[in-house]
Amino acid sequence: MEGWVSIFFNIMHELLKKDLKNIPSILSQAKRLAVEHFESQDEKPAGRLVQDISLDDLPIKGIGAEQTLNHFERNFSTQLSNSAGSRYFGFVTGGSTPASVVGDWLVSAYDQNACGSNDSIAPQIEKQTMHFFKQLFGLDDAYFGSFVTGATMANFVGLAQARHWVGEQYGVDFSNEGLIRPVKILSGTPHSSIIKSLSMLGVGRKSMIKVPTLPDREAVDLEELERNLWEASAPLIVVANAGTVNTVDFDDLEAIGQLKKKYNFWLHVDAAFGGFASISEKFAHLMKGINHADSITIDAHKWLNVPYDAAMQFTRHQSIQLKVFQNSAAYLSDPEKSPDYFHYTPENSRRWRALPSWFSLVAYGKEGHSEIVERNCELAKQLGVWIDSSESFKLLSPVRMNVVCFTLKKENFTIEEINSFLDRVRDDGRAFFTPTFYKGVPAIRAAISNWQTTSDDMEITINALKELSYVPA
């Protein structure tokens, strides 16, 4: 009986066996599809509207990898957003550099769970990549870093440590005892992911105290921040911004860091894409004081231009991070002997996110990535100059780096009118923008973050705005 069972379970499903045999041909087809995508990006619309699809039933019998690839190409590939293209200016979205695509393909092929320290080279390459990043961003060696899915999760990890630190100031272990005392957070222009993280952490959205900002700025007013710190007279969390999403405004990190000498607070810096100012001589001064931070968020799938999803969290308090995220399952390693990443991040199962970044950093170095940042910023400035002289649009804020925040030049318009205009731009296909609010004003945000964007793309974009806009009466 046991022999028959062994024989039965040694028979691989016929479709799996066939796909394994034909893997070179299948991957060649996938390669062809990817190459066609890169080569046709100039012709693809930057954005699109896709209707809901009808939900098919799960097949009982599969059709194999080759036929599935054909089915995907025929029915779905033409309906994808060209978010990796050179004129997709929505959100803050980078593309995928050639080197990072190579790395990402290999991540799937090797399928490493990048958690253990010594059972694979994968986590060692993550350590190497984090070392590269510390050098790239000018961070002290004292920082410990790891990959997470995105800026939201990086903010979550930083604020989870901050929450634990607040508890320690009261002699309470929040990680074990729970949140038995309120925690307060101060910030000038917190990103929505900060508020979301406070909800997930049980700290509560209402725990955020928004500190007034400087006139016509998104940067926090330091006098108001210090007044709030003095009035609190209790340990709390300060979230500083290194690049706001609407206008890329920077809080004065050096001045906030100096306040740590007078007041007891945890400083978390959200530098999701603004952190890349560090790699440009022109903008590096904006990041002065970053080493005062207790925790830092920086995104890789934004301005590093690697595939989704990839972000980094850094901390000066590795021991606190361990207390928060340590996994004590019997089958996992002892963190004292093997500092595996699942003891420091929310996930036990971790995709090898470091490899695409490692490929891109080694392939293009600091110089190559600095060129992307400075070119993107110069193109944003070019767009801003045109908008400033336009009859149909007006700038809402100076163009500081790579984001242009502008709106319609007419009286009493609504967010619906902004959305209607952006729908026309999307349907035209030459460019794609997303709406926002700036100081209560309905607005448009152009975030130029792609490694392929050139002055030709900016000319196409400006022509589209000219043709689709209207001159107010």
**Mean pLDDT of all residues in 91-109:** 95
Q: What's the chain's average pLDDT?
A: 93
Nearest Cα to Cα of residue 440 among 419, 415, 410: 415
| CA angle centred on 156, ends 374 and 214, rounded to 5° | 55
What percentage of the chain exceeds 90 in pLDDT? 88
pLDDT of residue 214: 98
Query: Alpha helices of 170-252 — where are they, by DSSP H?
Result: 174-177, 192-200, 222-232
Question: pLDDT-based confidence at 471, cuts 50/70/90?
Answer: very low
pLDDT of residue 59: 92
**Mean pLDDT of all residues in 178-184:** 93
Lowest mean pLDDT among 186-195, 244-253, 355-364, 411-420: 411-420
Query: Does 237 have pLDDT greater than 70?
Result: yes
Could you read off the pLDDT of 115-166 as tens digits, one per residue?
877 789 999 999 999 999 999 999 999 999 999 999 999 999 999 999 999 9
Question: pLDDT-based confidence at 233, cuts 50/70/90?
Answer: confident
Could you read off the pLDDT of 240-254 as tens digits, one per residue?
999 999 999 999 999
Could you read off the pLDDT of 368-390 as tens digits, one per residue?
999 999 999 999 999 999 999 99
Cβ–Cβ < 8 Å for 97, 364: yes
Question: Which structure tokens are listed for 215?
Answer: 């006139």
Question: pLDDT-based confidence at 350, cuts 50/70/90?
Answer: very high
Integer Cα distance of 192 and 10 in angstroms? 51
Question: pLDDT-based confidence at 473, cuts 50/70/90?
Answer: very low
Query: Alpha helices of 239-353 — where are they, by DSSP H?
Result: 253-259, 318-325
**Mean pLDDT of all residues in 295-316:** 97
Question: pLDDT-based confidence at 472, cuts 50/70/90?
Answer: very low
pLDDT of residue 27: 96
What is the four-CA torsion angle of 436, 438, 441, 446, rounded to 10 degrees? Answer: -50
Query: Does 7 have pLDDT greater than 60?
Result: no
pLDDT of residue 289: 98
Integer Cα distance of 344 and 315 in angstroms? 11
The CATH code that applies to domain 112-360 is 3.40.640.10
Lowest mean pLDDT among 50-54, 97-101, 208-212, 277-281: 50-54
Query: Does 335 have pLDDT greater than 70?
Result: no
